[in-house]
Homo-oligomer: A and B are copies of this chain.
Amino acid sequence: MKFRTKQAASMLLAAGFGCAAVGSAYAAESLQDVMKRRNLSQQDLLAASKTYVPTGKRDEFVAFSSGGQSGQVIVYGIPSMRILKYIGVFTPEPWQGYGFDESSKAVLAQGKIDGKDITWGDTHHPAMSETQGQYDGQFLFINDKANPRLAVIDLRDFETKQIVVNPIYKSEHGGAFVTPNTEYVIEAAQYATPLENKKFYPLEEFNEKYRGGVTYWKFDRKEGRIDPKKSFSVELPPYSQDLSDAGKGPSDGWSFTNSFCTERYVGGIEKGRPPYEAGCSAKDTDYMHVINWKKAAELVAAGRAKKINGHDVLMLDTSIKEGVVFLVPEPKSPHGVDVTPDGKFITVSGKLDTHVSVYSFEKIQAAIKAGKFESKDPYGLPVINMKDALHTQVQLGLGPLHTQYDAKPCVAYTSLYVDSQVAKWNYCEGKVLDKISVHYNIGHLMTMEGDSMDPKGRYLVALNKLSIDRFAPVGPLHPQNHQLIDISDDKMQLLYDMPLPLGEPHYVVAIEASKLKPGVRYKVGTDSRTDKKHAGAVRAGEEKTVRTGNKVEVFGTLIRSHITPETIEAEVGDEIIINLTNLERAQDETHGFAVSTYNVHASIEPGKTVQVKFKADKEGVYPYYCTEFCSALHLEMQGYLLVKPKGWKPTKTAMSAGTNYSEADYKAQLKKVVDTQAVIDSVVGYITGVNYKDFPDVVAMMDDAVDQLGKIKDAKAKADEAAGKKDWNNATLWTEQIWQYQVKAADLGLRAKTYLEQNGAKKAK
């Protein structure tokens, strides 16, 4: 469907698309020129128009993706598919200072296992906090499969606040999933192991001593933290439990967890036995676990749990006796158990089956109520006959994997791994509606708020694992490919290929951007990891360095372009503790802090206070500096850590000045200050001449500029005093400092001016 005729092209020109500049050396291309040069089809242009977000405009949805073995969470905008942030979760990340300042080290230290640091994680399934089954945009939960852990991210500042270690598993793939009011965060075991920590049993005792389970982590929304003491687990047979979902509406109070390798095969390829993949997929069905979590919670509260490694576990015999856990066969090796928005059905796909199976919660409940079971599993759990639980089955294709829902009634989408396709189908009537090819080998897929009670439709993201020919090559380790698909029409349309530059995402959730309301800056002196006042915070003018024994503690501040203090003196072997508060008010004026060769870094956003700590175990001179390009003089935002030999005494007390200044230098500085004030006055004139007060960002910038100008008084007093004494060095430098404050105020003013022009400011009334 490319332009075939000159006529079509000239119509485009008539429609006003031509932009040819007249009389220029290099003529601007028209739309038709660009389409021809870049070999774009009409369909490509339509896709471009659906995904392009012009400067200053925002994405409609914000997606949160697991980063897989990068141990992070990836945040991106939809439909532009631009990545907005990588959030450090299980892996230290120096740009964010994560794992380099003391408070964030303490968060990572919560994730220690058996007393040892784990410096990475395998994140798989993020979950957004929910209120009444709808995404509320407050918290994000993410698991670590390799080291069974779960993290809490606060979406007020997009920082990781807590890591909890599962006390009874050795791996867990199936977290995080939340109950409809985020009462609990659900996390299922993956590979069965003995539940007692550091306990060895041979594989010969697999059936007897190895176990799986599902953990329900209690979330305290007010504290924004998981409460491990109020959390519990339900013991399960040594099947490989996999993904879960919480019931909602009619099925609220129940949760569903699928599984694979219910054959309980233990491999042994090295001994000539068939490998795991054969032994773990030989049966046609595995089990969906149907769990009454409300009843389980009541039983635990009633003291019916057993403590294992200090953690409440509802054992199998109690679950069987009290009717907490039921099994339903599901097609083999499934991945995903997805409750419909109305809470009435649960869909499961076996990756080695061509069908998607739709289970009816009502039918399952009827079977349970009637006590109608086809058998018991080897551990005594009642098994409901598949036919008694099924609403319908639909043949979709090869490798069906994960299902998400549309805003349109009864419409679902399922990824087909082997076919490299997405199938659109109707789960009420059980029929296929459409299919589209993706590139290549799709794992999970995701629709907007598509696992909540109120899916938003419009877009679908295919999380393709392989991208072989899609992108410019970057070596043997390829990016994955998230493809954006338009689902607003009857036919799905491929819109965009997005490479994933870091990490191997497994699952994504996306929320309407308008639901996210992050803070723009911290209250001055905040420890962002505890949300409390930082003990090391000081205000401007209160900076100090305190020596106690062999401990040197700095209480410093940061503001464009100084670190206070600019010199830290220590002796070899001293413990150095540096607390730094960012005094800026402009919301994006982050400062960083690094000390040469001491492996120290911090990111200090406006209002934040951080602490870094290290032993000054090397004699010498170590520069420190602000690592963020924060102003025109950010390179000069520096200082020296001086580490002296023990007992060192100065032999030279006067400093040889590098440069001496004259009265003429001082006068030249004075003139510069007067000239610059004229620039500032003109910018201020523009800003106050428009409705700048309607723009909170600009008001904050103006506050910040006024802060900078406010510092002039003190610098001027010092300059005047020095000039009075004919101390031309200090008179010149303090006047230079006045000019620096002016430059920063002008910088803010000019940015505010550009901002106002961009955002359609109008003449003030």
Quick check: is A362 within 8 A (CB to CB) of the other chain?
Answer: no
Contacts of A283 in B (CB 8 A): 659
Quick check: is A548 within 8 A (CB to CB) of the other chain?
Answer: no
Bound Cα distance from A262 to B697, whole angstroms:
37
Q: Is B476 a contact of A608 with CB atoms below 8 Å? A: yes
Question: Which partner residue on chain B sits nearest A503 by CB separation?
Answer: B95
Bound Cα distance from A198 to B597, whole angstroms:
11
User: Which candidate, A47-55, A221-229, A288-296, A340-348, is the interface stretch facing chain B?
Assistant: A47-55
User: Which candidate, A247-255, A298-306, A619-627, is the interface stretch facing chain B?
Assistant: A619-627
Bound Cα distance from A472 to B750, whole angstroms:
23
- Considering only residues 722-741 of chain A, those with a C-beta below 8 Å from chain B are 730, 732-734, 736-737, 740
- A476 touches which of B81, B467, B522, B632 (Cβ 8 Å): B522
Question: Which partner residue on chain B sits nearest A43 by CB separation?
Answer: B19
Quick check: is A58 within 8 A (CB to CB) of the other chain?
Answer: yes
Quick check: is A650 within 8 A (CB to CB) of the other chain?
Answer: yes
User: Which candidate, A125-133, A180-188, A314-322, A638-646, is the interface stretch facing chain B?
Assistant: A638-646
Q: Is B85 a contact of A474 with CB atoms below 8 Å? A: yes
Q: Is B636 a contact of A261 with CB atoms below 8 Å? A: yes
Contacts of A261 in B (CB 8 A): 636
Question: Which partner residue on chain B sits nearest A463 by CB separation?
Answer: B629
Contacts of A603 in B (CB 8 A): 69, 477
- A471 touches which of B58, B519, B659 (Cβ 8 Å): B58
Q: Is A282 a contact of B736 with CB atoms below 8 Å? A: yes
Contacts of A34 in B (CB 8 A): 46, 49-50
- A118 touches which of B119, B202, B440, B597 (Cβ 8 Å): B597
Quick check: is A308 within 8 A (CB to CB) of the other chain?
Answer: no
Quick check: is A764 within 8 A (CB to CB) of the other chain?
Answer: no
Bound Cα distance from A200 to B460, whole angstroms:
61
Quick check: is A368 within 8 A (CB to CB) of the other chain?
Answer: no
Q: Is A479 a contact of B276 with CB atoms below 8 Å? A: no
Bound Cα distance from A419 to B41, whole angstroms:
39
Whether A281 contacts B620 in the complex (CB less than 8 A), given A203-B640, A267-B638, A497-B55, comes out as no
Quick check: is A179 within 8 A (CB to CB) of the other chain?
Answer: no
Q: Is B588 a contact of A478 with CB atoms below 8 Å? A: yes
Quick check: is A83 within 8 A (CB to CB) of the other chain?
Answer: yes
User: Which candidate, A323-331, A387-395, A447-455, A560-568, is the interface stretch facing chain B?
Assistant: A560-568
Quick check: is A361 within 8 A (CB to CB) of the other chain?
Answer: no
Whether A114 contacts B618 in the complex (CB less than 8 A), given A119-B599, A478-B590, A499-B84, comes out as yes
Bound Cα distance from A398 to B587, whole angstroms:
23
Q: Quick one: CB contact mask for A174-206 with B, threshold 8 Å, 1 for yes?
A: 000000000000000011011001111111111
Question: Which partner residue on chain B sits nearest A378 by CB separation?
Answer: B658
Q: Is B621 a contact of A170 with CB atoms below 8 Å? A: yes
Q: Is B755 a contact of A619 with CB atoms below 8 Å? A: no
- Shortest beta-carbon distance from A642 to chain B in Å: 7
Quick check: is A579 within 8 A (CB to CB) of the other chain?
Answer: no
Quick check: is A529 within 8 A (CB to CB) of the other chain?
Answer: no
Contacts of A148 in B (CB 8 A): 596
Bound Cα distance from A732 to B282, whole angstroms:
7
Bound Cα distance from A431 to B119, whole angstroms:
54
Most buried by B among A197, A202, A518, A608: A202
- A567 touches which of B69, B268, B280, B746 (Cβ 8 Å): B268
Quick check: is A759 within 8 A (CB to CB) of the other chain?
Answer: yes
Whether A623 contacts B52 in the complex (CB less than 8 A), given A279-B733, A759-B469, comes out as no
Quick check: is A210 within 8 A (CB to CB) of the other chain?
Answer: yes
What interface size band does chain A fall in? 35 or more
- Shortest beta-carbon distance from A236 to chain B in Å: 14
Quick check: is A366 within 8 A (CB to CB) of the other chain?
Answer: no
Quick check: is A136 within 8 A (CB to CB) of the other chain?
Answer: no
- Considering only residues 89-115 of chain A, those with a C-beta below 8 Å from chain B are 91-96, 100, 113-114
Quick check: is A1 within 8 A (CB to CB) of the other chain?
Answer: yes
Q: Is B203 a contact of A740 with CB atoms below 8 Å? A: no
- Considering only residues 458-486 of chain A, those with a C-beta below 8 Å from chain B are 465-479, 483
Quick check: is A71 within 8 A (CB to CB) of the other chain?
Answer: yes
Q: Is A648 a contact of B200 with CB atoms below 8 Å? A: yes
Quick check: is A240 within 8 A (CB to CB) of the other chain?
Answer: yes
Contacts of A146 in B (CB 8 A): 594-597, 601, 625, 627
Contacts of A751 in B (CB 8 A): 420, 440-441, 466, 468
Q: Is B206 a contact of A658 with CB atoms below 8 Å? A: yes
Contacts of A71 in B (CB 8 A): 94
Quick check: is A699 within 8 A (CB to CB) of the other chain?
Answer: no
- Shortest beta-carbon distance from A599 to chain B in Å: 5
Quick check: is A712 within 8 A (CB to CB) of the other chain?
Answer: no
Quick check: is A655 within 8 A (CB to CB) of the other chain?
Answer: yes
Q: Is B644 a contact of A200 with CB atoms below 8 Å? A: yes
Question: Which partner residue on chain B sits nearest A565 by CB separation?
Answer: B270
Whether A147 contacts B596 in the complex (CB less than 8 A), given A11-B14, A15-B11, comes out as yes
Contacts of A268 in B (CB 8 A): 566-567
Quick check: is A534 within 8 A (CB to CB) of the other chain?
Answer: no
Bound Cα distance from A49 to B178, whole angstroms:
41
- Shortest beta-carbon distance from A621 to chain B in Å: 4
Q: Is A472 a contact of B636 with CB atoms below 8 Å? A: no
- Shortest beta-carbon distance from A485 to chain B in Å: 11
- A277 touches which of B91, B113, B740, B759 (Cβ 8 Å): B740
Bound Cα distance from A190 to B635, whole angstroms:
9
- A654 touches which of B204, B490, B640 (Cβ 8 Å): B204
- Shortest beta-carbon distance from A196 to chain B in Å: 9
Q: Is B49 a contact of A35 with CB atoms below 8 Å? A: yes
Contacts of A476 in B (CB 8 A): 157, 518-522, 528, 587, 590, 605-608
Bound Cα distance from A622 to B171, whole angstroms:
8
Q: Is A86 a contact of B158 with CB atoms below 8 Å? A: no
Q: Quick one: CB contact mask for A135-179 with B, threshold 8 Å, 1 for yes?
A: 000000000011110000001111100000000001101000000
- Contacts A466-B588, A473-B516 aside, 15 further interface pairs with beta carbons under 8 A come to A12-B15, A15-B15, A55-B497, A83-B83, A92-B119, A96-B477, A118-B599, A146-B597, A170-B622, A191-B640, A240-B635, A266-B655, A267-B640, A440-B754, A440-B755
A-B contact pairs, 12 of them (CB 8 A): A8-B16, A85-B474, A158-B475, A206-B658, A274-B730, A276-B638, A281-B740, A398-B746, A398-B750, A439-B755, A440-B754, A478-B590
